[in-house]
Structures are given as C-alpha cells and as structure tokens.
Amino acid sequence: MFRCFSWRRCIFIFVGLLLAIRSYGQTTDQKDRYLSISYRESETGTYDFYAQNRNFCPYQLLIEFPTLTAADASVDLPFYTVINAQTKEQFLFSISPLEIDFTFKYTYRFWMGDPEQVFAETQSDYVLPYRSGTSLKVTQGYNGPYSHKNTYALDFDLKESTTICAAREGVVVKVKEDSKQGGPNKAFAGDCNFITIYQRDGTLAEYVHLTFNGSIVTVGDTVRAGQVIGLGGNTGWSTSPHLHFCVKKPARMGYQTIPVKFVSRWSRRIALQADHSYRAYPPSKGRPENFAYSSYAYLRQLLGFGQTR
Ligand SMILES: [Zn+2]
C-alpha cells in the first residue's frame, strides 16, 4: 500500500515537472538571424537570460512575459535594453523560481538602431541612389498621397534591373532578395526585396522593391556613397518597377522617417519634388553645401564688393 502510494506520488511529481518544463518557452512573430535571445539554468536554479547580436548595428530589445507564475524576475518587466553591434553574449536578467511548479513564457520584439546613438550632422551628403550622370523621375515624394502618408520616402520610376547605388556610406545590415512577387496592394508588402544600410550618423537607409537576386552586397559589407549595391525591380507592394528610398531615424522602440537633401550640380544640396526628374551627381568629396555659391560670395568679399546674401 505504502509502495503504491509512493509510485503514484512519483508519477504525479514527474507529470508536474513535465508540465512545468513544457510551459517555459518563447514565442515571437518577428525573426532576425543575427539577434538571438536564450536562457540557461544556473547552478543556483535561476534561469539566466542572454542576448547575442552578430549584426553590425545595435538593436533595441523588449522582452515581455505574458506568463510568469511562482517566479520572480531580477529586473522590472517588460525588460528593455540595447544590444550593441557584434555582442557575443550579454547577460540580461534572471528568473528565480519560488515554487516547484513555476511557469514562464516570454516574447520579444526588436528594432534596429539605437536612438541614443544617433548623431546630428551639420552637412548632409546624400547622393541620388543611381548611377552618376543618369536621371530618374520622382513619382511620389515626401508625404505622397498614394503610400507615403506621414512618411518621408521617395519613389523613383525606373526600368527593371536599373543599377541602384548607395546614397551614403555605411554598413549593410539587412538584405532580402529571394522574392519574385509584386502587386498593387498592401497584401504584397511583405514580398519586397530590399537592402538596409546602417549609416555613420546612426540612421538607416532603405532601398526597396529590388529585383529577384537583386543585391550585390551582403550583411557586413561597408559601402561608399555612389557604390553600386543592387538592381531595381517590382517586388512587394508595387504597381510598376521603382525604387522606394527612405532614411529612418531610430526612436524608442520604433522609427521615424526623416527628410534628406541630395547632392546636385555644383555641390548644391536639393530637396526632391514629385513629378520632376533628377540627374545623379557624384559625392561632393567634403565640399560644403552650395560650394559654388560660397566660392562666389568669398570672391566678392575678397574683391571688396561687400556683403553678399
Ligand atoms: Zn514608396
């Protein structure tokens, strides 16, 4: 009788443990092959969480626990932090069980870039994102009515496989080029091929709708302004081949698109307008904004023509 009770008790504990083990876990709908979150049981019985970031930009990370019973966290939840680029393993926090049948389930979200690592620059040095000497038409400008409402993004009309160049120097942090799908509504939005470049001021430039296998660069490549990076196309939410270009400034747990100006003739920086065509010029090699005008003003002053506007 006693033996039988003992067996039943053992089975009960075993099933209980199994249930407890099965209820640890993680669910996330977002995935990124360069960022991983993991946990290990320590010698003292706590569950220690770690993050690894193999990418070349920082990530903001938010870990939430939809289920946490009979256990304490060593930090306030949800847990927010920034994991810097190329971090092998960073300790985050511990979960300490209070009873044997404790449970936890966590989810996490992440955003590339870090709002605390965005640097204001006095001079913007973007070149148009196609070959110097060629012209493309802007079909939708900043805050455009079709798909750019409240968004600083530009659409350049182009032919399939037009060469796309980096608008600014940086390091490639994301590439998708396996899609052949494109179409005229939001349902196709996830099918776009694109390249994301992390720029030296902490912002992210996106080059979207590239053709199938249309990236010449891979994650980790550093690129110069004007360097060929890919081929334009019609993948994703797109009615005809075009390049969607935008610059995103990391905000806390999100992004903000920002307007930028591009190098034009005589190193002027210009803002682009819809329904106008623009010729691409090479990088200005450190010349100040409106180099031609400032040289003219300097000459006038030197020759004694007084103040110029
Ligand atoms: Zn667009």
As a whole number, mean pLDDT of residues 21-30 equals 51
Cα(280) to ligand 1 centroid in Å equals 19
72 & 179 share domain: no
In the prediction, which pLDDT does 240 show? 96
Residue 65 lies in a domain: yes
105 & 139 share domain: no
Cα(18) to ligand 1 centroid in Å equals 50
As a whole number, mean pLDDT of residues 135-150 equals 95
Cα(86) to ligand 1 centroid in Å equals 31
Residue 119 lies in a domain: no
The tens digit of pLDDT for each residue in 237-278 reads 999 999 999 999 999 999 999 999 999 998 889 999 999 999
Percentage of the chain with pLDDT > 70? 81
Residue with tokens 């504990």: 13
Q: How confident is the model at residue 231 (pLDDT cuts 50, 70, 90)?
A: very high
Q: How confident is the model at residue 26 (pLDDT cuts 50, 70, 90)?
A: low
Mean pLDDT for the chain overall:
87
Cα(138) to ligand 1 centroid in Å equals 10
162 & 60 share domain: no
Cα(136) to ligand 1 centroid in Å equals 14
CATH number at residue 49: 2.60.40
106 & 175 share domain: no
The tens digit of pLDDT for each residue in 84-103 reads 999 999 999 999 999 999 99
With a cut of 50, say whether residue 3 has pLDDT above it: no
Residue 302 lies in a domain: no
In the prediction, which pLDDT does 283 show? 86
Cα(85) to ligand 1 centroid in Å equals 29
104 & 151 share domain: no
With a cut of 90, say whether residue 46 has pLDDT above it: yes
As a whole number, mean pLDDT of residues 118-130 equals 83
Q: Convert 134-171 to b/e letters by CB count within 10 Å (16 or more is b).
A: eebebbbbbebeeebeebbbbbbbbeeebebbbbbbbb
Cα(145) to ligand 1 centroid in Å equals 10
160 & 88 share domain: no
The tens digit of pLDDT for each residue in 203-223 reads 999 999 999 999 999 999 999
Rounded CA-CA distance 30/267 in Å is 41
144 & 280 share domain: yes
This prediction has a pTM of 0.84
77, 112, 147 — which closes off a domain? 112
CATH number at residue 281: 2.70.70.10
Rounded CA-CA distance 189/242 in Å is 14
With a cut of 80, say whether residue 33 has pLDDT above it: yes
The tens digit of pLDDT for each residue in 281-292 reads 998 765 555 555
Residue 203 lies in a domain: yes
Cα(244) to ligand 1 centroid in Å equals 4
Residue 307 lies in a domain: no
75 & 180 share domain: no
Residue 305 lies in a domain: no
Residue 204 lies in a domain: yes
Q: Please count the structural domains in the chain.
A: 2
153 & 92 share domain: no
56 & 192 share domain: no
As a whole number, mean pLDDT of residues 224-245 equals 96
Cα(273) to ligand 1 centroid in Å equals 14
As a whole number, mean pLDDT of residues 198-202 equals 95
183 & 220 share domain: yes
With a cut of 70, say whether residue 118 has pLDDT above it: yes
DSSP secondary structure, 35-80, as one string: EEEEEEE-TTS-EEEEEEE-SSS-EEEEEEEEEEESEEESS-SSEE
Q: Are 194 and 209 in contact (CB under 8 A)?
A: yes
Structural domain of residue 254, as residue ranges?
Answer: 135-286
In the prediction, which pLDDT does 66 show? 96
In the prediction, which pLDDT does 305 show? 59
Residue 165 lies in a domain: yes
148 & 250 share domain: yes
With a cut of 50, say whether residue 21 has pLDDT above it: no
The tens digit of pLDDT for each residue in 63-74 reads 999 999 999 999
User: Which H or E run includes 250?
Assistant: strand 242-251
